[in-house]
Amino acid sequence: MAKKKAGKLVRRSCGAMAAHMMLLERYPAFRAAQMRLEGTTERRTQMRFDAAKAKLVTIKTVVNVVYKTPEQNISDAQINSQIAALNKDYRAANPDRNQTPTPWKGLVSDVRMEFKLAKVTRTKTTKSSFTSDDLVKKASTGGIAPFQPKTYLNLWVCPLGGGLLGYAQFPGGPQATDGVVINYLAFGTIGTAQAPFNKGRTATHEIGHYFNLRHIWGDTPDCSGSDMVADTPNCAGANFGTPTWPHITCNNGPNGDMFMNYMDYTDDPAMFMFTTQQVLRMRTALDSARSGLA
Ligand SMILES: [Zn+2]
């Protein structure tokens, strides 16, 4: 009998909210920054800010590869494949957006962000895997510190334990840990990227958090949670795999959950859109808490 490959990723699992709750507890200034940003977002929503007219920005991106085995020291080509995937998804230029169900086609929105690889760092570690505790972001704990995180988006690519695909820090947090961490098995579209997480969508999802997007079900195990975005239907919980449309929860019929949204937990081939209000939220984060990037 064939032995199951160790570390096989079965379904999406993101550590962003766990990391977020920890940071809110530990840094009162982060809590205040998040509240300010929420206020700014609310005002822009009321003013009907048109994010479709926002200027095209290029996000300078640093990729920090942290590896123990040679396999984990992913190739430049694999890194470039991730940047290419982001440049499709964040411009709504991904061909699979055409699979968006008809009632929501008009919501599919261009974030008007492009990503340019500015620098790659490679760090050999003795650690077999990391988790959402930020140890990968410090040299003394087997990782590497971010490079100028006010002006560069930092991505760390490393082995993550517990089936975690990635996690991100929301805007307004400490500089020393600012950025996005992605499992090397779910990064880019070639090399070590494993199906069904080999279309680069873990980074698309996590960078969504980095620009202040929440999971579309609002991170509660019922209908009470909200992603603070008006044009994503209220839904009960995460969707996994490749669901069949419609999947109705929380009286959200006839169209049901927007599980093809990048901020759900579906597999890479099953997610392919951000909405207009999500883009407003991201652009507000870019213009305020993350203005150093632009
Ligand atoms: Zn997430």
- Ligand 1 centre to CA of 1 (Å) is 35
Q: Parallel, antiparallel, or unpaired for β 180-183 and 166-168?
A: antiparallel
Q: What is the pTM of this model?
A: 0.97
- Ligand 1 centre to CA of 167 (Å) is 7
Please name which of 220, 259, 265, 245 lies closest in space to residue 11, comparing C-alpha atoms: 265
Please spell the DSSP secondary structure of 194-244, one letter per residue.
-TTS-SSHHHHHHHHHHTTPPPTTTTSSSS----S-TTS---SS--EESPP
- The pLDDT value recorded for residue 8 is 82
- Ligand 1 centre to CA of 60 (Å) is 22
Q: Which two tokens stand for residue 175?
A: 């500089």
- Ligand 1 centre to CA of 215 (Å) is 6
- Ligand 1 centre to CA of 180 (Å) is 11
Q: How far from 22 is each of 40, 176, 193, CA to CA, in Å?
A: 24, 15, 29
- Ligand 1 centre to CA of 72 (Å) is 23
- Ligand 1 centre to CA of 94 (Å) is 20
- Ligand 1 centre to CA of 18 (Å) is 10
- Which chain residues have CB less than 5 Å from ligand 1, an ion? 14, 16
Q: Is 25 a catalytic residue?
A: no
Q: Which two tokens stand for residue 163?
A: 């089936």
Name residue, tokens 């991505």: 155
- HEC letters along 6-52: CCCCCCCCECHHHHHHHHHHHCHHHHHHHHHHHHHHHHHHHCCCCHH
Q: Which of 25, 38, 71, 206 is catalytic?
A: 206
Please name which of 111, 124, 20 lies closest in space to residue 70, comparing C-alpha atoms: 124
Q: Are 183 and 160 in contact (CB under 8 A)?
A: yes
Q: Please enumerate, as own/partner, the contacts of 127-130 that have beta carbons within 8 Å and a separation of 24 or more.
A: 127/68, 128/68, 128/159, 128/161, 129/158, 129/159, 129/160, 129/161, 130/66, 130/158, 130/159, 130/160, 130/161, 130/181
Q: What angle do CA 37, 42, 44 make, to 5 degrees?
A: 95
Q: Which two tokens stand for residue 102?
A: 């008809």
Q: Which two tokens stand for residue 207?
A: 């960078």
The span from the CA of 249 to the CA of 234, in Å, is: 8
Please, which residues have CB within 8 angstroms of residue 137's CB and are 6 or more apart in sequence? 143, 144, 145, 146, 156, 176, 177, 179, 181
Please, which residues have CB within 8 angstroms of residue 143's CB and are 6 or more apart in sequence? 64, 66, 123, 125, 127, 130, 135, 136, 137, 156, 158
Q: Which residues pair with 59 in a beta bridge?
A: 115
Q: Are 271 and 205 in contact (CB under 8 A)?
A: yes
Per-residue pLDDT of the chain (294 residues; tens, 9 = 90+): 444 444 689 999 999 999 999 999 999 999 999 999 999 999 999 999 999 999 999 999 999 999 999 999 999 999 999 999 999 999 999 999 999 999 999 999 999 999 999 999 999 999 999 999 999 999 999 999 999 999 999 999 999 999 999 999 999 999 999 999 999 999 999 999 999 999 999 999 999 999 999 999 999 999 999 999 999 999 999 999 999 999 999 999 999 999 999 999 999 999 999 999 999 999 999 999 999 999
- Ligand 1 centre to CA of 2 (Å) is 33
Please spell the DSSP secondary structure of 84-126, one letter per residue.
HHHHHHTTT--GGGGGS-GGGGGG-----EEEEEEEEEEEE-S
Query: Which amino acid, residue 174?
Result: P
